[in-house]
Amino acid sequence: MATYALIHGAGDVGWYWHLVEAELRKREHDVVAMDLPVEDDAADLSAYADVVAGAIGARRDLVVVAQSFGGYTAPIVCERLDARLLVLVAGMIPAPGESAEEMFVNTGWEPPARKGATSTLDVFYQDVPPALAREAMARSRRQSGTPGKQPWPLAAWPHVPTRFLLCRNDRFFPAAWLRRVVRDRLGITPDEIDSGHTPALSRPAELAERLERYREALPARRR
């Protein structure tokens, strides 16, 4: 049995992962999907990592999965804990000393409004079942600007196997832009899924299966 720690993105809640969590629990894994303190203007990236680490506790055989802005928190968690694997799903990829705001500028990201997508539904949930999309939007929270302005505190990417799952139909993080960022910053070729920005809601079973394949491909640990 593995432990999956599922980290949501900006302005979101742990509920975002509930369908993936159910799929992973069917496979008899332990799952933690916490609410980060996104509305707290005093909470920085270290505080976000504290919440994740606290939710994980003493659990072992850890797989850390992060969505979108969760990519700024997940490597910090992996640096602190004995994670076996890090998976970024449509995730941001920080560089040492670079804030999330700076990452957008440094990598040439363009806001989705420039491509005609303006509403939250159009940008994030275009392929999510309507009732589920409405619930997701109702559960969203105000995102403090504090962690997005903070320089990423690690000196280097943690020494943990890292996989990246890119969403081909993502209107927030366009596939062409993100392929380049993944190659330049992680030195790997991302895997891809036919989804918008929120595959945990649009394709939860497929996403859970992908996570399981990544975990099962890891070399066995010596005891």
Rg (CA), the chain: 16
User: Could you give the domains of the chain?
Assistant: 3-216 (3.40.50.1820)
Q: Per-residue pLDDT averaged across 92-118, rounded?
A: 89
Q: Per-residue pLDDT averaged across 198-212, rounded?
A: 98
- Whole-angstrom CA distances from 66 to 108, 158, 214, 222 are 22, 15, 14, 27
pTM as predicted: 0.95
| Each residue's pLDDT tens digit, 54-82 | 999 999 999 999 999 999 999 999 999 99
Q: Output the CA torsion sign for 54, 64, 80, 91.
A: negative
- The neighbour count for residue 77, using CB atoms within 10 Å, is 26
Integer Cα distance of 80 and 116 in angstroms: 41
